[in-house]
Structure 1
Amino acid sequence: MGLFDDFNRFLETRLEEFLRNNPHLELQALEEQLREQEEDALRLIADLNLQEQKLQDEILSTAQEVQRWHIRIEKAKAANRLDLAEPAQEREAALLRQGNQLWGQMQGLKQRKEQAKQLQRQIQQRRQEVHTKAVQAEAARANTQAQQRSATTGWSQSYKGNIKSGPDLLDDKFKRWETDDELDQLKRNIGNR
């Protein structure tokens, strides 16, 4: 596992270095992360909407049950059937408590939904800000590259004009030397393991 951990750390370090050298890509990655968070917030809001609808249905059903038992209580009292009226009143009271609990749950759910909506709006606003910065950074990078190309083009054109055509012996020597140096470095690294 040590080799994989080392390799993973190496890749993370290289990625961080690459992103520091390419801030427009870092902004694009941040924008993507914010987009995913916004999607998560929207899914949460949709889930809370479903839960709220379910609670509303349960509250309505409970209210209908309370009404039904209230009518039964009145009938039992009118018929002087206290043996039925008293248990029916207990049932009605239990249903009222259940309805109050459901109502409290729905109020809490509405608060959570409002918080999720507020969070989604904040994420959306932050994402728009990051997008604007990313566009600006990309434009600045393109402008810098264009300036570098024009400066380099002028320099390299005059440079090429002074070099005679044919094989570049100095370049070939450097390539051989660099290749040999890399091979020696690899051998040392393998020998150290």
Structure 2
Amino acid sequence: MSIFDDVSRFLETRLEEFLRSNPHLELQAIEEQLKEQEEDTLRLILEIQKQEKTLQAEILSAAQEIQRWNDRANKAKAAQRLDLAQAAQERQAALLRQGNQRWGQMQGCKERIEKAKELYRQIQLRRKEVRAKAAEVKTKTTTKADKTEQNWDTKGWNQSSNFNSFKAADPLEQKFQHWEAEEELDRMKRNMGK
């Protein structure tokens, strides 16, 4: 273990404690993570859809090539060129296998897109739940803060104050100044009497 590991673990622990004591911040962090996952999932969907389009184009191209080699094979058979007909049929079969592979890959893309869309919907739902919970925690915190504020026994606590105005015409300030002055006089009298 290095000092960096110790410091890192200490900071992680402190962060976890802080988030537990401030649930609204923890929920905010979770919502941010969900937002990032949502964006990542959208990017994944777009990427797979792009792959699907590419595969569709390859399948269409393969189908056109298969048709072309089929026509050539038929033309060669009609002309009694069996060697060319055989080669054309072999090419057609190879293109058909390649097209079938692309078709399977495209079907896999479709399945992955559906799974990614379902994941996206789940993330959106979870994010909505977290937002609702954060609003609930915020409301509870605000309500608790309001109650705490109302429970203070000191009347002046909730009143706005201007400290400079207290000094000008505050009767309590005057009483304390008078009492402190008397205390100072008594102290001086005692010191002089010694």
**What TM-score do you get using the length of structure 1 for normalisation?**
0.79
Question: CA 1:139 to 1:165, structure 2 compared with 1: closer, same or farther past 3 Å?
Answer: farther
Cα displacement string for residues 146-168 of structure 1 (whole angstroms, at most 9, x for unaligned residues):
2212223x33748xx999868xx
Give the drift of 1:145: 1.2
Structure 2 residue aligned with 1:110: 110
Separation in 1 of the partners of 2:147 and 2:39?
A: 39
Separation in 1 of the partners of 2:29 and 2:118?
A: 23
Question: CA 1:165 to 1:43, structure 2 compared with 1: closer, same or farther past 3 Å?
Answer: farther
Q: Matches of residues 24-173 of structure 1 in structure 2 within 5 Å?
A: 24-152=24-152, 154-155=153-154, 157=156
**Paired AA for residue 46 in structure 2:** A
Give the drift of 1:40: 0.8
Give the drift of 1:139: 1.2
**Paired AA for residue 89 in structure 2:** Q
Relative CO higher for 1 or 2, CA cutoff 8 Å, sep ≥ 6?
Answer: 1
Separation in 1 of the partners of 2:143 and 2:33?
A: 27
Separation in 1 of the partners of 2:172 and 2:15?
A: 40
Structure 2 residue aligned with 1:8: 8
Range with bigger deviation, 90-99 or 8-17: 8-17
Backbone CA RMSD of aligned residues: 2.1
Note the residue ranges of structure 2 that are not aligned, 5 or more in a row.
158-170, 178-194
Question: CA 1:83 to 1:165, structure 2 compared with 1: closer, same or farther past 3 Å?
Answer: farther
**Structure of larger gyration radius:** 2
Separation in 2 of the partners of 1:155 and 1:16?
A: 36
Note the residue ranges of structure 1 that are not aligned, 5 or more in a row.
167-193
**What TM-score do you get using the length of structure 2 for normalisation?**
0.78
Give the drift of 1:14: 1.2
**Paired AA for residue 151 in structure 1:** N
Question: CA 1:155 to 1:56, structure 2 compared with 1: closer, same or farther past 3 Å?
Answer: same
**Paired AA for residue 55 in structure 2:** L
* Aligned length, in residue pairs: 163
